[in-house]
């Protein structure tokens, strides 16, 4: 895998980075949480946000 995983990486790139241990499930979840926090006030895409539950699930993965 070359390059850095970011919010515009494809799902396949994210999966490859996880498989190669270039990024952890917690780091990837945190990346997405940051994007949700940044953009959801304008988009209002989430009715309920549960970042603590998402991070706990990522830790167990």
Q: The tokens 């991070």 sit on which residue?
A: 55
User: Whole-angstrom Cα distance, residue 34 to residue 26?
Assistant: 12
In a domain, 4, yes or no: no
Helical pair 25-43 and 51-60, crossing angle rounded to 10 deg: 160
C-alpha to C-alpha distance for 54 and 4, rounded to whole angstroms: 22
- Report whether 35 contacts 49 (CB < 8 A): no
Q: Could you report the per-residue pLDDT of 4-55, keeping only the tens digit for each?
A: 999 899 999 999 999 999 999 999 999 999 999 999 999 998 888 899 999 9
Question: Does some domain include residue 43?
Answer: yes
- Is residue 21 in some structural domain? yes
Residue 37 lies in a domain: yes
Residue 6 lies in a domain: no
Structurally, the chain folds into a number of domains equal to 1
Q: Residue 29 belongs to what domain range?
A: 11-60
For residue 40, being part of any structural domain is answered with yes
pLDDT higher for 45 or 1?
45
Predicted pLDDT at 1: 47
């Amino acid at each position: 895998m070359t390059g850095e995983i970011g919010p515009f990486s494809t799902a396949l790139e994210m999966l490859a980075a996880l498989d190669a241990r270039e990024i952890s499930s917690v780091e990837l979840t945190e990346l997405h949480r940051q994007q949700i926090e940044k953009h959801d006030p304008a988009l209002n895409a989430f009715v309920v946000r549960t970042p603590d539950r998402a991070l706990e699930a990522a830790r167990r993965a």
